[in-house]
Amino acid sequence: MNKPKMTTEKGVPSNSRVLMLLGQLERLNREAMLADAEIGRQITAKILHLIQTQEKTRKEIMSKGSSGMEVILATLENTQDLQTILNILYILNELLTVGGGRRVGVFVSKGGTGILLQLVLSGSKDSPPSEELMLQLHSLLAKVGPKDRKFGVKARLNGALNVTVNLLKQNLQNHKLLLPCLQVLRVYSSNSVNAVSLGKNGVLELMFKIIGPYNKKNTSLLKVSLDTLGALLKSKTNARRAVDRAHVPVLLYIYQDWHRNDTRHRHMLIRKGVLGCLKNITNIKLGRKAFIDADGMRILYNTSTECLPVRTLDPLINTSSLIMRKCFPKNRLPLPTIKSVFHHQLPHVPAGGPVAQLYNQPLGVDDVVDESDDNDDVETENDTENEEEDKDHHAMNDDIETDINKLRPKETHSRPFEELKIYERFFLELSEDFQRFNFDNPKSGVTATAAAPKSQRLIIVPTAQALPPKYPTAAPLQEERHLAKGEQPHPEASPLAPAPTPAPVHTLDTINITKDHDGCCDHSQVRPQPEQEQELVQGMERVALEGTGPQGGAGGGVNRHYRQPPLLAGGVAARQGGGAEETLAEEWAEEEGGEGAVLEVPDTALLLPLHDPDLYVEMVKSTRSVPQYSEVAYPDYFGHVAPTFREHILERVYGVQRTKIFQDIERLIHPNDILDKVVYDLDIQSCPVIDDGESLKFNSQFESGNLRKAIQVRKFEYDLVLNSDINSNHYHQWFYFEVSGMRVGAPYRFNIINCEKSNSQFNYGMQVLMYSVQEAISGRPRWVRTGTDICYYKNHFSRSSIAAGGQKGKSYYTMTFSMTFNHKDDVCYFAYHYPYTYSTLKMHLQKLEALRTPQIYMRQDVLCETLGGNSCPLLTITAMPESTSNDQICQFRNRPLVFLSARVHPGETNASWVMKGTLEFLMGSSPLAHSLREAYIFKIVPMLNPDGVVNGNHRCSLSGEDLNRQWQSPSPELHPTIYHTKSLLQYLAAIQRAPLVFCDYHGHSRKKNVFMYGCSLKETVWQTNISATSCELHEDLGYRTLPKILSQTAPAFSMASCSFVVERSKEATARVVVWREIGVQRSYTMESTLCGCDQGKYKGLQIGTRELEEMGAQFCVALLRLKRLTSPLELRNHAHLLDVESDLIETRCKVTSSSPSTYVLEDEEHSFMEEVDYSAESGDEPDIDPDTADPHDNRLSDSESNNHRDSLT
């Protein structure tokens, strides 16, 4: 070793005594005089005395610039005198005991670890080895080891590993030496190779000789032994060895004994150490089986239950919960197949991909069961705690596009103009001369494409109480209606018709009624008056509107009668503006002693100008669904009036997840308490509702509905299974279903058990939505946020590798919430988010058409027909020219275009509510709206995926594919809406009229606020390591202007959440394709939260339809401001808004030191007091499948999830 020269730090007195002694020691080293052992002993003894008595001495030795540590280590390496060595070891122990990790770091950096290990090896050759020397060496190594990342490798290569093991074996009763040896072994074992080697050398058995039942003596020794054992058991080999030697029952016995005797909870760390050992053993399949066989589930469940009242024991409860969840036997989903219960035959099957695999799957293959559990240790040996080095290997974001050529707009058009010319008919406004237009009656000059023909099929409208038996038909109501208009009554409608004759054929314009008495469709009652309650509990029924068609005819013997209008809940006739119906209903009520009292549905026309129940039913008639839905859900029929009160983000109750998980574990421990009764099953097509009068009744057979199966687990608990998207075997997230037959005040729990995402805003304060029919009839027709004890966690239902894209060992997630109903015999609907059906869109468009004023140019075309036979509407909105003068017509034709689209993902219903706000603003009469129409021509596709919306899909169309991944090469047969929408944009690019702004409205499931994704060459390159010249990165920063304006005007919008990075996985999305291929610089995806806001005016509030519609209107205002800012006359006055370079830097993503290509936006969720564990293994990475992951939330969901996973580890 080089002989160091003693130096002093500036400011330290050169005559300091310790520095003088160190100088003498340095001379001894330099002059090789260490043979004179006595001098060395004296000097080191004096230094030790100074260090023990004077704190400043330690600081002088360890101060910056001082070479004191080097001198001490050189002496330690060169001397052969035992006492000198011991003195120096004492000195080092004193120096490293205080001062934190910095001093240890200095020691390691000077090569101290290697010197100590060499001394261990040389000291072991003495016979017998010096106990004091070994004690001091191992005490120092225990301090140094955790700070030296190569400690385990050094010890193994040096041979010190075996020395420590032999020392341990020879001193099992010498507790003074045993403790530091165990501490060093614990550090050795953190290296996986060392752990296997130590296991082979019998260290595992040694540990079990040291640990034992409850004993107040030597608790420190026991604690270190358990930590060492836990580290050894992270190795699969050692875990198998422990199972083979029947150590699992021993550990359970030890844990029980300590739990029973440690009544004052003074030894929680020992109990946690035992659990840590069990946790590592159960990382392998054999360990889980041994744990179950040893009755581990019951033992840990009972001990954890007893710990619940003591908050300080939460670490024990959490670890026990993790072990039990891991060992809970994997179950298959209670389904015959994971494929959707509905099927739609495609015109042709794609050559490859998930849909092709689905179609090519052999018959008889069980696609539900997961065979992966037969493969040992598939899911658990990813422990990042095994090697400290692994902690720095975070999942790198390799998704960012690094090919600059792919980040530049294409210069050539991919399709010939002759092929695109057919789309000219959708742009009549670009050639309109208005010569034949009557400006005195402008509405006659703008026409819309004819609506699709009405479908002749049975439609069931929500209604309620059956009529009294003595009035079996409603013919008088029909007769009164016609007589009121001065018409002749229909003779066949008479209740006195003598004989049952075949029902005449009627179109849907003649409204008929079906009463279903078979019990399958029995529904509950509205809130009655007290004296009527007993008579009104028989249940709500439905009224059917029948016409000829596949479901017409005799209807299986069900009596059909004509009646109009349809009844609403409680025997209420829908208000039609006349009084004859009400009078007749009142007469019935009087004759029956108040049995059928009329509770009139409030008129919400003033509050909902775009809603009309009768018009909605008309729209439903022409809507085509794969299941051929014939029912109308109450919320869609009645409408939704946004509540005036605030709905705060739900504060998470401490321990709620733990409580829910323990209730799940009880199913295994007390199986006799589980009912396991199927009460709703769409796989039983004949009668999916199983009604025995004791259970809740479920239904999802209506437009946008999604619930496949309901299983009653306990008296007030139900497991719910969602249906996958049609022609798919996953995408379970959207739900919309009806519940009836509830008991008032009962604590119901609902578990949706086949969710797929690894994280959800349900863990961050989001609540489900509920619509109560009782409340609606009482004058409050609205969706409200509801549910308590909401949490989202990994469950014990395994996903088959078929469903998980070939990955094995994946599990589903449970979203659970509790609910107490307030009304007897209510009918309630639950939804993932505010429903917005395709029929609702058609109704709104027709109402908007009626609102058009002479100043508004509005045209509605049918862009194309979908796979399911539904039309895809295309809207054109702008301002009418003031006259037919050349200047006016020229200004009209040359307005810049704005292209908007929404609802490509059916489950993102918030996108439709934002679009509704945009459309209402555009059709409004305000000066701003008028200015906006004069500034732009709007081309709008308000629903890109009508089929997915109608059939209750979450993400796909009937093709089974995510339409927002098909923009690069859409198929006209499989993706018609995307193909033709892209063709519209290609046509505009071909005629040099590319839109100024393109925006696709979406919803985001794992982030808060409203924000945008855009496209930037510069910002993308910033997140990569590729080198590029400044000219290659040149781009106009105008793409940031619109989001910046929105951040200043829209309360829900967050600029900090915006991103302008282009990723490979998003290259086929609308935003990227329109930016790259069409050349639209301002091409965006606007994401709206499903949960709420954590900034601005709405901070702490859940988002509602009012805020979403406001966002749509604010987007319009921002476009108007953008127009003014980009106008040459206005540019000078508002230059500060376009100078976004500095702002761009401020909001730039943070680049992590461990991975230069990983970027994280600053929007991580706050920590909870309760440790939130999403998985069954605390070391798991979030399992996001490329097929199932939300394309907009890969990175941010990881940050949310990891935030809490970090708190666990």
Whole-Å CA distances, 44 to 54, 97, 120, 1198: 15, 18, 20, 54
Pick left, alpha or beta for residue 156 (phi over 0 → left; psi -120 to 50 → alpha; otherwise beta). alpha
Q: Classify the C-alpha dihedral 754-758-763-769 as positive or negative.
A: negative
- Expressed in angstroms, the distance from the first to the final Cα of the chain is 41
Contact at 8 Å (CB) between 869 and 958?
no
Helical (H) or strand (E) element with 204:
helix 203-210
**Both tokens assigned to 345:** 């035959």
> What residues contact 222, with CB distance under 8 A and at least 6 apart?
210, 211, 212, 215, 270, 273
Beta-sheet pairing, 783-786 with 856-865: unpaired
Q: Give me 378's structure tokens.
A: 């598939």
Which of 900, 963, 898, 1019 is closest to 1191 using CA atoms? Answer: 963
Helix (H, G, I), strand (E, B) or coil at 544: strand
Count of Cβ atoms closer than 10 Å to residue 432 Cβ: 18
Q: Is the previous residue joined to 409 through a cis bond, with omega within 30 degrees of 0?
A: no
Give the CA dihedral 376, 377, 379, 383, nearest 10 degrees.
-170
Q: 679: which DSSP letter?
A: E
CA distance 522 to 537: 11
Of 204, 135, 126, 200, the residue nearest 164 (C-alpha): 135
| Nearest residue to 39 via CA among 4, 81, 92 | 81
DSSP letter at 1054? -
- Lookup result for tokens 């509801």: 786
Find tokens 């018009």 and name the residue. Answer: 615
Q: Compute the distance between CA of residue 331 and CA of residue 1177 in angstroms, rounded to an integer.
A: 17
Distance CA 870, CA 864 (A): 9
Query: How many CA atoms, within 13 angstroms, populate the side-chain half-sphere of residue 114?
Result: 8
Question: Out of 432, 546, 1063, 1087, which one is annotated catalytic?
Answer: 1087
Cβ pair 1161, 1056 in contact under 8 A: yes
Distance CA 516, CA 460 (A): 11
Instruction: Determine whether 738 is an active site residue.
Output: no
- Chain length of the chain: 1209
Sign of the Cα torsion 233, 1207, 1162, 811 reads: positive
- Helical H runs in 79-191? 82-97, 100-109, 112-123, 131-144, 151-158, 160-170, 175-188
Nearest C-alpha neighbor of 962 from the set 1070, 1082, 1077, 813: 1070
Q: Is the dihedral of CA 1147, 1153, 1157, 1160 positive or negative?
A: negative
- Beta strand pairing status for 1082-1089 and 768-772? unpaired
The amino acid occupying position 89 is: L
- How far, CA to CA in Å, does 377 sit from each of 197, 813, 1174, 1176? 20, 20, 19, 14
Q: Report residue 1106 CA to chain centroid gap.
A: 23
Distance CA 372, CA 379 (A): 9
What are phi and psi for residue 1075, nearest 5 degrees? -65, -45
Active-site residue list: 1087
